[in-house]
A and B are shown apart, each in its own frame.
Chain A
Amino acid sequence: MEKIFQDLEPYSVPSYSNWFSWSNIHEVERFSLREFFDGSSITRSPRIYKEYRDFIISKYREDPSRKLTFTEVRKSLVGDISILHKVFTFLEKWGLINVDVKSDKEADNCNGNCKPISIGGEEEEEGWKGRVKVEEGAPYGVRVVAAPNSMKPVASLPPPPSVRADGGRGVGEVGENGFKWPPLASYSDVFGDSVQQEKKNVLVCGSCKEKCDSVHYEYTKEGSFILCEKCFKSGNYENKLADDFKLINSGNQSDVWTEAETLLLLESVLKHGDDWDLVAQDVQTKSKLDCISKLMELPFGDLMFGSANRKSKFLDVTGDVSNFKQAQLDFNESQESAKVEDPSHGLKDEGQQNGYADTQGQPLKRVRMEPTSNTSSSLMNQVARISTAVGPHVTASAAEAAVTALCYENQCSREIFDDDDNFIDLKASADNIEQKRAAQGNLLDGDEGPKQSETQGPSSHKDTIQINLRMRAATATALGAAAAHAKCLADQEEREMEHLMATMIEAQLKKLKRKMKYFDDLELIMEKENAHIEELEESLVADRLNVLQSIFDAGISRWRDHASVKSQTGVAVQFLIFILSSKAKSEKRIAQIWFSSQRTTLISQIEKPKSTVFLSWFLSQDSKNEDA
């Protein structure tokens, strides 16, 4: 063990484990694993513990980057498996093994707290036994199977959809058909009470079987028959008389808010602010909670919450949307009303209130569906939404205002946007603001007439609008920046894609080149072999020639014999054919030999008419060979 330790590089052990040493057993170990140290069993002793520990740690350190599993070590250790596991978890807990290893989804220290369905999410186990499909439905261990001999059809369970094991890697198919099993019997046991209670509270109409809303008609005579409002009106009485039905307005009284009540509520909120008791007093028919909830439901309810606080903080720029919206509302409303409010600081509350009072009906109608005070969405989203909510003229002027505001902030951008000399550096001075208003009025053409007058409106609004513009400018720049950034990213992505394409093509080309080289080599080999074979052929022919030569030399006398001439001629013809068919380079030599040998035969054959053809041919060959 010591040797192994020395061969290794120093390892990082967590600082809380620096008590550990190879040669000793520390108090911590004695304390946590006291079974080994109390002499209770022959199977557990300090020596045994040390062996376990050293083995496990060494095994881990053979490859510290991978997570050592208990299963890997337990096969190599003799001992009760629970005790081994205890040692293993102890070492793991103290960071002596499996330090900084990508751990599984469940914590490594879950001593018995793991969920029973665990997923092996590690790379090392990817190549292992593959994945099992987890299927919903009755587990197969609980099986209802028809015996092979039985003729009865099996009550087959409908094909269970397979679901992806949660977080698992591509296992099984996703159960997208939304197939639902009927709830288990035990479900009703556990949740039955709550379900029952739900049922009780819902009144179902007797005839149309729909849920009755707040108002329903109850049959006063025997039985408890209920009709919903609709059915009652349509005369669907189910053999009962109309008189017998009593109207029961069991609906929640706090649900219905009339216009008058709403108006009252808003006014009182403006008056009393957050003092809900007073508000509830004013709105007599509704309770405190109802008021608050109703207010929140209203599209600008949130603003009411805030506006009451901001009476004195009118110029507060916090950048939140409600302020924005409020300012925009003002702007908006100032478009609508042709009247110009008197510029006075003292009236700003009234202006605000008037603004609200006027807009109460309209925005409530128009903008009811929009959660404008939803601060959870980003500023960009809200800007986008708000700009869609208002009219096009407003957005145009807003854009212009943003541009001008930008120019005020930054000298250079002036040239870009506009080179109107009327631009003045904007400070919070009345003159400048007036001039700015004028300038702005100059900018806006067309039907901005009323707007101009509005923009010269009360000074109490000026600062708000200025800030408003600033904010718009800020948002415009932010949008621009975001767009530029996006473009940069897009470009980068494209470049990356091209780069990847290039590497792919290069790889393909390399592959092809290799193949071609391989084929070239093959060709070379083939050629060599071809040459070799040709040589072989030649040598064979030469051998044959030698043999025949020796035959000729030896057996010339026999050729004088007429009887055997024919057969010899046959042989000669055969040989001739053979020679002709062979492409040996020693053709010349063959021909010479043959020539000399044939001379002797032909001389004997000259009287034969057949041989004239032969002779002519032979002579032509001769000349041919002499030419070659």
Chain B
Amino acid sequence: MKSHSAWGTSKSLVKFRIPTSDNLVPIRLDIEIDGQRFRDAFTWNPSDPDSEVVVFAKRTVKDLKLPPAFVTQIAQSIQTQLTEFRSYEGQDMYTGERVVPIKLDLRVNHTLIKDHFLWELNNFESDPEEFARNFCKDMGIEDPEVGPAIAIAIREQLYEIAVQSVTSAKESRISKKGRRAGEFFSASKTGGNAVDLVKLFGNKSSVIRKRKEWDVYEPIVDLLSNEEVDALEAKEERNIR
């Protein structure tokens, strides 16, 4: 179902997928049984057979010496997230030209990362892992867990945005049945946080940012001491409860 707007392929509808070069689903686990809490985040390839989920759960429990009750919980959680992903898979989403700001604000062990940059949604060859690798290399981060955490955070945000675009595509189709015009506007409406491309990339403006804005888009990497980590953790726990 291609649109026939003047922008050509820029407003095409494609099947839902994560807009990166590998269609990997970010999975987050946070399971608590009998006072033991297991938290993890990783990417999963949705084309893996579902049997792999149980195998993975068993292996994780074995490696980390968790009580076996975790196996079912982990497997269930992964499955739920996977099915959710798959439910979107059959549907269409807009892949108009959208550049969205991605914000990173995460803490991995002792490293605190804050960052803000732009990501193009219809670039299906983007690679969050590569970005994460470069980031860690440039910033001299040695903790090997930071890279994957960054990649997963990016993926999650992209996933969310993709989901949003699916729902909005559905809505627009319902609401604008029979009318082809105005698809450009709908595309921009779907992404409330998308960047105004005309403003930024139009002929009147420079793509070099103003200096005062450099701080906004500069990555901040902080190394925390143990006490700060504990304090932050306690705060997070309180927020969750």
Contact = CB atoms under 8 A, between A and B. Distances in A.
Interface in A266-303: none
A80 B119 contact: yes
Given A134-B142, A141-B41, A141-B145, A82 B34 contact: no
Contacts of B67: 155
Contacts of B218: 75
A42 B142 contact: no
Contact of B118 (A72, A78, A129): A78
A120 B138 CA distance: 7
Contact of B39 (A40, A117, A141): A141
Given A82-B119, A106-B137, A119-B142, A155 B217 contact: no
Contacts of B211: 76
Contacts, number: 199
A30 B130 CA distance: 24
Contact of A134 (B41, B134, B144, B206): B144
Given A116-B147, A143-B37, A150-B35, A132 B111 contact: yes
A76 B120 contact: no
For the residues of A in contact with B, the DSSP-based class is loop
A78 B133 contact: no
Chain A CB count within 10 A is highest, among B119, B125, B149, for B119
Interface in B123-177: 123, 125-127, 129-131, 133-145, 147-149
A174 to B, nearest CB: 15
Contacts of B202: 42
Interface in B210-241: 211, 214, 217-219, 221-223, 237
Given A48-B201, A85-B134, A116-B147, A141 B140 contact: no
B118 A41 contact: no
B99 A142 contact: no
Contacts of B109: 132, 139-141
B142 A171 contact: yes
A138 B149 CA distance: 15
A43 B99 contact: yes
A171 B142 CA distance: 9
B201 A45 contact: yes
A140 B123 contact: no
A117 B119 contact: no
A461 B80 CA distance: 89
Band of interface residues on B? 35 or more
Contacts of B34: 150, 152
A41 B110 contact: no
Contacts of B145: 139-141
A51 B206 contact: yes
A237 interface: no
A242 to B, nearest CB: 45
Contacts of B86: none
Contacts of A133: 110
A260 interface: no
Interface in A69-89: 69-72, 74-83, 85
Contact of B120 (A77, A83, A106, A141): A83
B2 interface: no
B220 to A, nearest CB: 9
Contacts of B40: 141-142
25 contacts: A42-B197, A42-B198, A43-B120, A48-B207, A72-B138, A74-B217, A75-B214, A76-B214, A77-B208, A80-B118, A82-B120, A82-B127, A83-B120, A104-B137, A111-B130, A112-B127, A112-B133, A119-B140, A134-B144, A141-B41, A142-B40, A144-B36, A144-B64, A147-B36, A189-B59
